[in-house]
Amino acid sequence: MSTCRDCRATIRFVRLESGKAMPVNPTPDSTGMVAVDWQGTELVGYVLSKTDPLRPGYRLHRAHRADCHPTKPRTPAPDALFGAAGTPAGIPSPRRTP
């Protein structure tokens, strides 16, 4: 098990079929959308969809992002930091002199 760096909750990482790791809450939850199963010592899974429903032997977990409440503010998106010209918001861009 691991600890979320934003909210300090206990999480588990599931290796998705795409090869990426997804953090999920450690306990099964019937409202979850991530199907999880053990393969040896690794948790593997997939995100439920209309074409890929819950398979036998898999249990549902919630993606941790759905429940994460950071103890510190998340980093704002780049557009919030910089204006359209790529300069810091609120600071006029320097003018070129001919």
Residues 19-71 have pLDDT tens digits of 999 999 999 999 999 999 999 999 999 999 999 999 999 999 999 999 998 87
Tokens of 78: 């780049």
In total, the chain counts a number of residues equal to: 98
Tokens of 18: 């795409």
- Nearest Cα neighbor of 68 from 2, 20, 16 is 2
Q: Which residues of 45-81 are buried (b: 16+ CB within 10 A; e: fewer)?
A: bbebeeeeeeeeebbbbbbbeeeeeeeeeeeeeeeee
- Strand (E) or helix (H) holding 80: helix 78-81
0.75 exceeded by the pTM? no
